[in-house]
Structure 1
Amino acid sequence: MIKLIFSILFLMLTGSYASIGQDKGLIKVAKLGKEGNPGLAGIRKDFIKKNPGYDIFYLPSTQNVPSKAVTQVLFVQDGGGSATITAANGDKQTSKIAVGDIVLLEKGEIMEADSLLGLLAFTVPDKPDSNIPAFIRPDWDMNITDTPGGCATETNAYRRILLTWHKDVGNYIWHSINAHRVRIMDSFSHFHPEDQGFDEFYLVQMVMPGAKLFTSENVEQISDPESIKQEELEGLIQEHRLEVGDLVYLPRGVMHRGFGGILAQVITVPGFIPGSEIGVDHFLRQINERLGLRGKEALPFNRQASAFQVIR
């Protein structure tokens, strides 16, 4: 009860709900690797407006990444092999790379690969700390091990944290952009506040049959379960079937919950700010119980996270 009262006061004070549910079409999905990368232009337009100094683009079937005047963060989405980073002074670093890895190119650096790659690229205004390696390989780096939590709380969770906010979670600290590669079986339903949260991406790399993503842009409604009427349920929560190569843009303020087996690189800009995951499963459960919704009529929620509000 104390947690619930605190979280409600927190939301009232920050005004996090103010614009939620007023603007439709905030959630966007791009199909990377398909001709023209449909949907990516819309994501990019919204993303750079919300995050000055950042940019996002996709490099399909490439072996060469030219230098830029800012840091580039490359997420390997397709292909594999060996890659070499060459600095402006001629120094070189070479590593194997595969899907799920990240390559960091600092200002003036180029990358050349020995095979074709598909790369989701972010430009980031800040330079990474010197202790972060240029090649971050979640399945090969002994500093990166399974860390259950967040969207994967089961004890056998595959959740590898590549870039994080604080030392308690991982070794590679960078507040400008964070990422963890995770297999999502049944995450809790949550959103990131407008004022103190972050934009999030799901870069889908494997999908089990029937896997889906639940979303809602109606967090303000959901958070007042006593006011919701039966006729307002339609469209309250959306269901998205996912495919490998999908890039899902989840801006601040929208609810989301992965379900059924999604292996994704979960990317946040800025980093994964502690205390900015606000759960709503307890509200969804209250709506179901108050309206007597059962079976297919019931709103989907994570039962384990529904006893009280979860804030992480």
Structure 2
Amino acid sequence: MRNKIPLLSLFVLLCGPVLAQEASQVKFAKLHEPGAPGLSAIKEAFTKNNPGYDLAYLNAVREVPGEGITRALFVQQGGGTAKITDDQGASKSSKVAVGDIVLLNAGETMEADSLLGLLVFTVPEKPSHAIPAFVRPDWDPNITDTPGGCATETNAYRRILLTWHEDVGSYLYHSINAHRVRIMDSFSHYHPKDQGFDEFYLVQMVLAGAKLFTSEKVEQLASPEDITKEQVEGLIQEHSLEVGDLIYLPRGVMHRGFGGVLAQVITVPGFIPGSQYGVDHFLRQINENLGLKAGEALPFNRQASAFQVVL
């Protein structure tokens, strides 16, 4: 009886080994769709990278029961009046709307008079008493437009809710930071793996054509003289954006918002100063080295391309 070669072995002999495609580090969830597809993959990657944190989405709820943990609730859908009650029965209430954050300490419950959609982060440290339980960027006089970072226009809507450094905001918190910002043309940047932070875009409004550029090949981009024309395709990915998108951008991933997206930009543990490294000067150099024009050129922010921007 002749020996038979299994079909897969024959394929490997003729075509070489089958290489598994590496999963993308950039992950999308559709929070406004039934079951929030993609959220479980974000949760798995995020909690692995950030011990002590957790993530969930509560859809169409009026109550968040008390637990023995600290939570930051980002209001993504709905609005109304919400009341926080602690384990001693003391309570406080406020109006809430999309864009607000509600901070719940251990043992506190929240009840609302209408249905809300809430992105919930479990965080390892409780906020200081100086931070209000209801952080409202459009109603708090301590939160005003602060152009900079990914929105440098003089009329930029960029409101810092929770900050790492007191020089740029009123509410200091080293477990989670957030600013609500309208991004028209951000600079292309990444946060280093060893000293940076993970970032989320929680999309709350978009203009037609709004998009996010990403790249997981930062080390390759940093050597523009070595890149050939054949390598250009695939260096940068373009993602269209919709209201209800949650995008996870772990440390080391380049990203750039473009075209009019209003988002809560959320970072863990926070916007650590000196941890945003621009790459537009590299992208511009690649285009110039290879003579790339129009549709074949890599997208970049011209204003940030004269030299490396570090914030």
**TM above 0.5:** yes
In 2: Cα distance, 1:148 partner to 1:60 partner: 32
What amino acid is aligned across from residue 168 of structure 1 in structure 2?
A: D
1:21-48 superposed Cα distances (whole Å, 9 cap, x missing partner): x954100000002111000000000000
After the TM superposition, which residues 187-198 of structure 1 pair with which residues of structure 2 at under 5 Å, given as runs? 187-198=186-197
1:167 aligns to what? 166
Partner of 1:202: 201
Q: Which amino acid aligns with 2:93?
A: T
Separation of aligned partners in 1, 2:37 and 2:134:
29
Question: For 1:153 and 1:114, how far apart are their aligned partners in 2?
Answer: 38
Corresponding residue number in structure 1 for 2:65 = 66
Structure 1, unaligned stretches of length 5 or more? 1-21
SS of the aligned residue for 1:259 comes to strand
> What SS is found at the alignment partner of 1:299?
coil
Who wins on radius of gyration, i.e. which is larger?
2
Q: Which amino acid aligns with 2:246?
A: L
TM (norm. structure 1) is 0.92
Counterpart in the other structure of 1:178: 177
Are positions 1:252 and 2:251 aligned together? yes
The structure-2 alpha-carbon separation of the partners of 1:130 and 1:23, relative to structure 1 and needing over 3 Å to count, comes to: farther
State the alpha-carbon separation in 2 of the partners of residues 23 and 218 from structure 1: 13
**Deviation beyond 2 Å, 4+ runs, structure 1:** none
TM-score normalised per structure 2: 0.93
Structure 1 counterpart of 2:214: 215
Number of equivalences: 291
The reply on whether 1:98 has 2:79 as its aligned counterpart is: no
- What residue ranges of structure 2 are gaps of 5+ in the alignment? 1-20
Correspondences of 1:148-163 after superposition (within 5 Å): 148-163=147-162
* Residues 1-312 of structure 1: pairs in structure 2 closer than 5 A: 24-312=23-311
Task: Give the superposition deviation at 1:294.
Answer: 0.7
Partners of 1:65 and 1:203 in 2: how far apart? 20
Q: Identical aligned pairs, as a percentage?
A: 73
Q: 1:23 to 1:163 in 2, by over 3 A?
A: farther
Letter in 1 for 2:130: N
Taking the aligned partners of 1:299 and 1:164, their CA distance within structure 2 comes to 32
The residue number in structure 2 matching 1:3 is none
Q: Is the 8 A contact 1:24 1:217 kept in 2?
A: no
SS of equivalent to 1:68:
coil
Offset at 1:67? 1.1
Q: Equivalents in 2 of 1:23, 1:159: separation in Å?
A: 35
The alpha carbon displacement at 1:309 in A equals 0.1
Q: C-alpha separation between the residues in 2 aligned to 1:143 and 1:61? A: 30
